Amino acid sequence: MENWPWKPDPDFRRLLAALSRNGDPARVPFLELFADQEIMGAVLGEPPAPTKDRIQDRATLNVWLDQKIRFWHYLGYDAFWHGANLSWGKLLPLETGDTASLSREKRTWVDEKRGMVASWEDFEKYPWPTSADVDFYPMEYAIRYTPDGMGIIAQIGGILEPLMWLMGYETFAVALYEQPDLVDAVLNRITEVTVPLASALVKMDRVIALWMGDDMGFKTGPMVSPKHLRKLIFPVQKQIAAVAHQAGIPFLLHSCGNLETVMEDLIDDVGIDAKHSFEDVIEPVEHFSALYGSRVSVIGGVDMDLLARGSEDQVRARTRQILERCAGTGSYILGSGNSIANYIPPENYLAMLDEGCKFNTSARTVR
């Protein structure tokens, strides 16, 4: 890629101000959940580091960590999402060929029909991880090498996601009614590891926020009924939000899908400080910002489909439209609707960021 014309000037305090709904409307910060390694390599003009599932040793992990830190700093981000290593064990993946222009040969996802824990016999045999199995080396490395001015937003896994992955979505959905005690047991195992992990992360140096990734919805509604979310999932999320708040930092939620029926629960009960993941066919980000931007901060919203299939001019126009409608709230943070996947042309991604930089420059000039 051509040299990025904007020089990095990280200051995590700007991001924290926006996450507190007290940001400078003339200086909108940027934030992403993650970018695929292929994108990082293309933008930096170097070979991509191995994807996390192919890292076998510390030396290779260091290469991955170095590229990640260098990428976010190069593009002018004030902070990036990063965590410790925790594996829930061997899931049952499905795979197909990767047709992205920056292909990694195969794409994988979790089998929705069946999981590793579909019965009490499976539960008893499963090699459940404990807090002692968490590897904090990636966090310790990032704390040591992240450039001055940048913060780390600690990554914490979700509650509903591993529950569905471990049991298989269909098995889990049936078990909610036929084996609720098994669902409770699996949920307890997840809680026993996740809450202590959150408590450890928020105490680490340079951590400025805690960000949970927990997809709970699809195009028209939540993955399970609101009553089950309120009974099973939200109480644990609330515990983790409280861990962040007790440490004096915000709690961010990434969750895909249509969560309109439970948004009040997430804001008033769980206590989220910011919401991420927006899709124009579900709810354009400016609509969400108008409804909730005075109560929670709003992250991202430049639609993934547009970033993947639109022209640079279309991406620029849509980015400007979002900024014009959302930046004045002091609670908006620019980014994609989800993440920078390897099927997004790097030129489109950089066009979005370039429009953000131009907006920030022109807004400061006007003031």
Q: Say what percent of the chain tops pLDDT 90.
A: 88
Q: Give the pLDDT score at 2.
A: 63
Q: Which residues contact 180 (CB under 8 A, 6 or more apart)?
A: none
Q: Give the pLDDT score at 48.
A: 93
Q: Give the pLDDT score at 21.
A: 97
For the chain, what is the largest distance between any 2 Cα atoms, rounded to a whole number of angstroms?
Answer: 66
The per-residue pLDDT for range 213-230, each reduced to its tens digit, is 999 999 999 999 999 999
Q: Label residue 94 by pLDDT band (50, 70, 90).
A: confident
Q: Label residue 93 by pLDDT band (50, 70, 90).
A: confident
The ranges assigned to domains in the chain are: 12-34+73-366
Q: Give the pLDDT score at 365.
A: 56
Q: Say what percent of the chain tops pLDDT 70.
A: 98
The token duo for 6 is 């904007």
Q: Give the pLDDT score at 363.
A: 60
pLDDT beyond 90 at 80:
yes
Contact 260, 296 (CB under 8 A): no
Give the residue-averaged pLDDT of 66-84. 98
The token duo for 294 is 């005075």
Give the residue-averaged pLDDT of 345-364. 93
pLDDT beyond 90 at 170:
yes
Q: For strand 251-254 and strand 274-276, is the pairing parallel, antiparallel, or unpaired? A: parallel
Q: Give the pLDDT score at 138.
A: 97
Q: Which residues contact 104 (CB under 8 A, 6 or more apart)?
A: 36, 37, 38, 51, 98, 342
The token duo for 359 is 């907006």
Q: Give the pLDDT score at 312.
A: 98
- Of 212, 201, 195, the C-alpha closest to 275 is 212
Q: Give the pLDDT score at 362.
A: 85
Report the C-alpha gap between 188 and 138 in whole angstroms.
26
Contact 117, 164 (CB under 8 A): no
The per-residue pLDDT for range 224-276, each reduced to its tens digit, is 999 999 999 999 999 999 999 999 999 999 999 999 999 999 999 999 999 99
The token duo for 157 is 């896994």
What's this model's pTM, rounded to 2 decimal places? Answer: 0.96
Specify the CATH number of the domain 12-34+73-366. Answer: 3.20.20.210
pLDDT beyond 80 at 1:
no
Q: Give the pLDDT score at 364.
A: 57
**Mean pLDDT score across all residues of the chain:** 95
